[in-house]
Amino acid sequence: MASLDASGTARGAGAGDAIDAPGSGRAGGSRTPRRLRLPRQPMLRHLALAAAGAALCYLVTSLLSPYNDVLAGEIGLYVVALAGLSVLTGMSGQISLGHGAFMAVGAYTAALLANHTGLDLALQLLAAAGTAAVLGAVVGLPATRLRGPYLAGMTLLLALALPPIADRWNSLFGGDQGLVTTPPTAPGDLNAQQWLADIELWLAILTLVVVANLVRSRFGRAFRAVRDDEVAAALAGVHVARTKVIAFVVAAACGGLAGGLLGLTTGVVSTGEFPLTLSIQLLAAMVLGGAGSLVGAWWGAVLLVYLPEWSSSLAGDLQLGAGTSAYLATIIFGAVLIVAMIAAPGGIQGSLRLCWAYVGSRRGGAGTGDAVRGDAVGGDAVRSGAMAGGERPLQDRAPSSGGPAAPRGAAGSPGSAPNVQSNESSNSDG
Amino acid sequence: MLEVRELSVGYGPVTALHAVSFDALPGTITAVLGANGAGKTTLLRTLSGLVRARHGSARFAGDELLGRPVETIARAGVAHVPEGRGIIEELTVAENLELAALWRLGRRDRRAAIAATFETLPRLGTFRDRRASGLSGGERQMLAVGRALVTQPRLLLLDEPSLGLAPLVTAQLMAILADKTAGSEMVVVLVEQNARSALSVSTRAVVLDLGEVVADDESAAVAADVDLRRHYLGY
Amino acid sequence: MTLFVDYSLNGVAQGMIFAALALALVLIFRATRVVNFAQGAMAMMTTFGASTLLEHGVGYWWAFVAALAIGFVLGALVEVLLIRRLEGRSELNPVIVTIGLLVVLEGIAGAVYGNSSRGFPAAYSQTGLVIGHTTVDFSHFDVFVLVAVVVLMLANLVLFRATSLGLQMRASAYAREMSRLLGVRVGRLLTLGWALAGLAGALAGLLTAPTSSFSPYFMDLDLVYAFTAAVVGGLESPVGALVGGLVTGLCISYVGGYLGSGLEPLGALALLIIALMARPKGLFARPPARMV
Ligand SMILES: Nc1ncnc2c1ncn2[C@@H]1O[C@H](COP(=O)(O)OP(=O)(O)OP(=O)(O)O)[C@@H](O)[C@H]1O
Ligand SMILES: [Mg+2]
């Protein structure tokens, strides 16, 4: 918390333009990197970046083939979902194995509204996010009293329990056949795939802007405080239960929006679209991208979309049967997840930051912008993820050894940063 | 005999012990004294294998202790009563004792040793089958010491056994310790904040300050050195 | 009324299986503070192993024992190769690693055995017993399930309460460092805990397979039901696992029977939330010494 306060006070002293490049302050002395990362109006900077990003997306999608447009659009919708999950798990420390359930709720909401009311697309998607958010609040309430594996188990059960409801009342939900959706009509002579991809990517960017501002607000600070130490957060005046529910609501809303978009992409909403594996893959992608990092959401989404593609071409190269190749992606996904958790809990984004920090420290400068954090230099411990735009990475290294009064006791604190290597010998097998 | 030579231990950038050397003789109590953070706990944890040393050696009865796994050291007869509550709260009093003796004594000897412990510490006997979580602070400390003695250790490491005990109980505890040590082959290293009572039962005393030995002498001599007492022992 | 009896009997039979799997979760949670979300997938693997042996003409009981042995070894391997490396890190890491293991195991099973469900033989007849003139929904096989799980529970009870190995396992679960100071080889005992859990899970898989669609995913639902059962029973206590298993089995049997099949997971979710709300303190508040 202390450092967050410090950055808060440094904000007023921030020099220069809203879009000031972080590296340009190199001459300003040792304190400058922190100051420059937080320009006076982050909102403005974000909006400018977002506008540029949106234009870039439009350019890219117009160059891509319709098939690749679909993939690009999927990346966009997964970014939306992963951003929410990142807030929930990476920032507020609550693990969810049931993110697919929120997507299902969003998808069915949007599809039902489209089929029965002919509501505007924007309103459909808003309703999708809203309904999922309500479910998020409902789930978040009991979740406020749970942590770690308990919450994981409960959300896992949620992911398994919701889809059968649609099968049970199949006259409303369309049963196995599902509900057919109509993609939005493209303006002018754009093709439908490109237009949908543009919408999805723009919504991804919009989501990121909203979430990035949220995590910089007092809510974001509350999320991290609760994640790092609930008791301390409560003592510092944070309303722990409310904070946890808000994190759930944000995550669920993102999931719902992503679900609505998924329905549009696949053209049909059925229970088969939301198996347990979807929830698991979302969590895996979020972790692999970098828990708590909004940039990591992009990495995760790319993985989700392209890993099946790559692995089926790999299976082709290896001349595996069609039956086997379908599972190759799953196996790779799981194996990478395990290895990453053991070797690089920071995920892609966390590892990249470490690399940059390493390169930066080799150059002997602390001024390589966002990549170098005071606490990332030296690479003594891989940290899990880092916030987009220069917030602190997951911070809680549980002390692995204390006095005997608290012997390795804090190992239960949430967050996914590994411990500092201490010389405490912990492997008990001689 | 315990021979500690040039022992250095650190935690990351922190140096907790720096070139510590001393001897502890069988049948005597060696007190290790010093202010908070002097490195006393670190010393004991290094001897029992919980913390790895950087340099130096610690030989007990000719065998090197450093570098061996905690369990092996324990099974060789090193009993460590750690700082604070070292008892296992979820087990009963009898189970705590049984567990300690498991790797030191055969089944029959175990039973006899446990019965003997209850004789020395009759209060514990009344709580035999009660969970250790129900014991008071003093009773816990009694159990911790009793549990160490039940293993008939060759090297006994005690980390502030008087912490939180009433003066009367502390005196009782020290008497039991002195009684068990005298005439035995046991080497006892007693870490204490309560320097006065530790010096009253110990033969030699080692005073640590910021990880370095500042005095290593007969207990009586340390107790008589007013400067040393004022400076490092606070009485 | 007969419906109620049938649902109850069915609930008991299912509940016993959940209890076995819940016992596996409890053994692991006690030893290493990890909920093993891959427990169901591990049981699936061992059952596929038994199935392969059966296809190669091995006798039923040999295959049965082999599956238990594979479960034992698999459990130990997972602890040594994966879980041990996560020691001292945040509690989210093992959750994610066991989830990764679940994905890998199901992927491997799918690649090797295909996605379609196969048959798995039952040790005894699966037609309902006839009591008086009515056939009840409880077969010879269900009796076997009941006996097998009761034997498992009793063996577990004896191990933990009456042997010095059990004493050491309990001690090392509660106070790792202190146990080591008393000469207990904690690392090996944690491995043993995982191995025993693997065995219990393998038993659950063998007992589930004949009555379910035996595919790579056939233990997914069982796992969440077992988790519910374990949490209802307190996640720490083997007896709790048995009670929780029965409660969960009955609950989902009634929900499935009276409210419609497909809603069982929702029933379990409700039960889980009620259990967690009713005694959240008892579930996750423990003296820090235990986290050693
Ligand atoms: N696990 C650890 N990690 C980092 N530093 C540690 C650790 N344990 C102890 N230290 C440091 O090592 C030094 C010596 O600590 P130690 O616990 O040995 O002191 P002590 O003499 O036992 O103090 P006290 O009388 O308060 O128990 C202290 O500066 C302490 O901060
Ligand atoms: Mg100390």
pLDDT digits (tens, 9 = 90+) for C70-86: 999 999 999 999 998 88
Put simply, the answer to whether C92 touches A324 (Cβ < 8 Å) is: no
Nearest residue of B to residue C182, measured between CA atoms: B100
Q: Which atom of ligand 1 is nearest to the CA of B42?
A: 18
Instruction: Report the side by side order of strands in the sheet with B2-11.
Output: B14-24, B2-11, B55-60, B63-64
Interface predicted TM-score (ipTM) of this complex, two decimals? 0.92
Q: So what's the pLDDT on residue A26?
A: 37
Question: What is d(CA C269, CA C221) in angstroms, rounded to the nearest whole number?
Answer: 12
Question: What is d(CA B47, CA A159) in angstroms, rounded to the nearest whole number?
Answer: 51
User: Is residue A77 a part of any domain in this protein?
Assistant: yes
Q: What is the 3-state secondary structure (H, E, C) of A301-319?
A: HHHHHHHHHHHHHHHHHCC
Is the beta carbon of A24 within 6 A of some atom in ligand 1? no
Give the dihedral sign, CA A19/A22/A24/A29. positive
Give the dihedral sign, CA A362/A366/A371/A372. positive
Is the beta carbon of B41 within 6 A of some atom in ligand 1? yes
Q: So what's the pLDDT on residue A322?
A: 67
Q: Whose CA is nearest to atom 29 of ligand 1?
A: B37
Indicate if A206 and A70 belong to the same structural domain. Answer: yes
Is the beta carbon of B42 within 6 A of some atom in ligand 1? yes
Of B50, B71, B82, the CB nearest to C184: B71
Question: What is d(CA A232, CA A222) in angstroms, rounded to the nearest whole number?
Answer: 11
> What is the CATH code of the structural domain delimited by C2-278?
1.10.3470
Contacts of B88 in chain C (CB under 8 A): 171, 174-175, 178-179
Nearest residue of A to residue B69, measured between CA atoms: A430
What pLDDT band is residue C1 in, cutting at 50, 70 and 90? low
Question: Mean pLDDT throughout B113-117?
Answer: 90
- pLDDT < 50 stretches in chain A: 1-39, 365-430
Average pLDDT of chain B? Answer: 91
User: Is residue A7 a part of any domain in this protein?
Assistant: no
Contacts of A423 in chain B (CB under 8 A): 10-11, 51-52, 54
Question: How buried is residue A202: exposed, middle or buried, by Cβ count under 10 Å (0-12/13-18/19+)?
Answer: middle
What pLDDT band is residue C205 in, cutting at 50, 70 and 90? very high
The pTM is what? 0.81
Q: Tokens 């009485």 map to which residue?
A: B235
Calculate how close chain A gets to B204, using CA atoms only, in Å: 26
Question: What is d(CA B209, CA B231) in angstroms, rounded to the nearest whole number?
Answer: 10
Put simply, the answer to whether A330 touches C277 (Cβ < 8 Å) is: no
Judged by CB atoms within 8 Å, which residues 2-61 of C form the interface with A? 29, 33-35, 37
Which ligand has the minimum distance to the alpha carbon of residue B33? 1
Bridge partners (DSSP) of residue C128 are C139
Give the dihedral sign, CA B168/B174/B176/B182. negative
Of C95, C111, C288, the CB nearest to A409: C288
**What is the span of the domain harbouring residue A365?**
350-376
In the three-class reduction of DSSP (H, G, I as helix; E, B as strand; rest coil), residue B190 is classed as: strand
Of residues C35, C46, C153, the one with CA closest to residue C96: C35
Q: Is the pLDDT of residue B212 over 50?
A: yes
The alpha carbon of B44 and the centre of ligand 2 are apart by a number of angstroms equal to: 9
Q: Worst-scoring range by mean pLDDT, A184-198, B201-215, C137-151?
A: A184-198
Indicate if A239 and A360 belong to the same structural domain. Answer: no
Q: So what's the pLDDT on residue C64?
A: 95
Q: Is the pLDDT of residue B103 over 90?
A: no
Phi and psi (nearest 5°) for A80?
-60, -50
The alpha carbon of B36 and the centre of ligand 1 are apart by a number of angstroms equal to: 8
Question: Which amino acid type is present at position B175?
Answer: A
Question: What is d(CA C58, CA C239) in angstroms, rounded to the nearest whole number?
Answer: 35
**Number of domains into which chain A is organized:** 2
Cβ pair B80, A404 in contact under 8 A: no
Calculate how close chain B gets to A368, using CA atoms only, in Å: 26
Contacts of C180 in chain A (CB under 8 A): 428
Cβ pair A215, A246 in contact under 8 A: no
Q: How far is CA B42 from CA B8, B86, B145, B159, B164, in A?
A: 10, 16, 19, 10, 20
Contacts of C88 in chain A (CB under 8 A): 398, 400, 408, 411, 418-419, 426
Judged by CB atoms within 8 Å, which residues 398-427 of A form the interface with B? 401, 403-405, 420, 422-425
Indicate if A59 and A161 belong to the same structural domain. Answer: yes
Chain C within 8 Å of A409 (Cβ-Cβ)? Answer: yes
- Degrees to nearest 5, angle at CA C245 with C242 and C249: 145
Q: So what's the pLDDT on residue A237?
A: 81
Q: Is the pLDDT of residue B225 over 50?
A: yes
Residue C168 is encoded by which pair of tokens?
């050491």
Distance of CA A238 to the CA centre of its chain: 23
The alpha carbon of A372 and the centre of ligand 1 are apart by a number of angstroms equal to: 31
Cβ pair C243, C232 in contact under 8 A: yes
Calculate how close chain A gets to B50, using CA atoms only, in Å: 6
Q: Tokens 């319709």 map to which residue?
A: A66
Print burial letters for A323-360: b (CB count within 10 Å at least 16), e (below 16).
Answer: ebbbbbbbbbbbbbbbebbbebbbbbbbbbbbebbbeb
pLDDT, tens digit (0-9, with 9 covering 90-100), for B11-48: 988 899 999 999 999 999 999 999 888 999 999 999 99
Residues 6+ apart with CB under 8 A from A308: A329
Q: Which atom of ligand 1 is nearest to the CA of B14?
A: 5
User: Is residue A55 a part of any domain in this protein?
Assistant: yes
- Last-in-domain residue among A233, A260, A275: A275
Of residues A186, A159, A200, A221, the one with CA closest to residue A77: A200
Is the beta carbon of B11 within 6 A of some atom in ligand 1? yes
Distance of CA C34 to the CA centre of its chain: 14
Put simply, the answer to whether C177 touches A404 (Cβ < 8 Å) is: yes
Bridge partners (DSSP) of residue B187 are B155
Distance of CA A20 to the CA centre of its chain: 26
Pocket test for ligand 1, best of A380, A397, A400, A401 (most atoms within 8 A of CB): A401
The alpha carbon of B39 and the centre of ligand 1 are apart by a number of angstroms equal to: 6
Contacts of C290 in chain B (CB under 8 A): 90
Indicate if A249 and A357 belong to the same structural domain. Answer: no
- Last-in-domain residue among A251, A275, A299: A275
Calculate how close chain A gets to B183, using CA atoms only, in Å: 31
Q: So what's the pLDDT on residue B3?
A: 95
Put simply, the answer to whether B69 touches A425 (Cβ < 8 Å) is: yes
pLDDT, tens digit (0-9, with 9 covering 90-100), for B144-185: 999 999 988 999 999 999 888 888 888 888 998 999 998 899
Indicate if A261 and A356 belong to the same structural domain. Answer: no
- Last-in-domain residue among A275, A295, A322: A275
Indicate if A100 and A194 belong to the same structural domain. Answer: yes
pLDDT, tens digit (0-9, with 9 covering 90-100), for C147-193: 999 999 999 999 998 899 999 999 998 888 999 999 999 999 999 99
Question: What is d(CA A230, CA A237) in angstroms, rounded to the nearest whole number?
Answer: 11
Question: Mean pLDDT throughout C261-276?
Answer: 88
Indicate if A354 and A270 belong to the same structural domain. Answer: no
A143 vs C242, higher pLDDT: C242
Nearest residue of B to residue A428, measured between CA atoms: B69
Give me the residues near ligand 2 (ion), CB cutoff below 5 Å: B 41, 83
Of A424, A429, A430, the CB nearest to B51: A424
Judged by CB atoms within 8 Å, which residues 153-172 of B form the interface with A? 159
Put simply, the answer to whether B52 touches A424 (Cβ < 8 Å) is: yes
Contacts of C174 in chain B (CB under 8 A): 88-91
Q: How far is CA C214 from CA C109, C120, C242, in A?
A: 11, 7, 24
Contacts of B100 in chain C (CB under 8 A): 182-183
Residue A209 is encoded by which pair of tokens?
């802007």
Chain C within 8 Å of A198 (Cβ-Cβ)? Answer: no
Put simply, the answer to whether A430 touches B41 (Cβ < 8 Å) is: no
Q: How far is CA A191 from CA A76, A202, A267, A385, in A?
A: 18, 17, 16, 37
Is the beta carbon of A404 within 6 A of some atom in ligand 1? no
Pocket test for ligand 1, best of B41, B158, B162, B207 (most atoms within 8 A of CB): B41
Calculate how close chain B gets to C237, using CA atoms only, in Å: 13
Name the region of A425 (left: φ>0; alpha: ψ -120 to 50; beta: rest): beta
Q: Which atom of ligand 1 is nearest to the CA of A401?
A: 1
Question: What is d(CA C244, CA C232) in angstroms, rounded to the nearest whole number?
Answer: 5
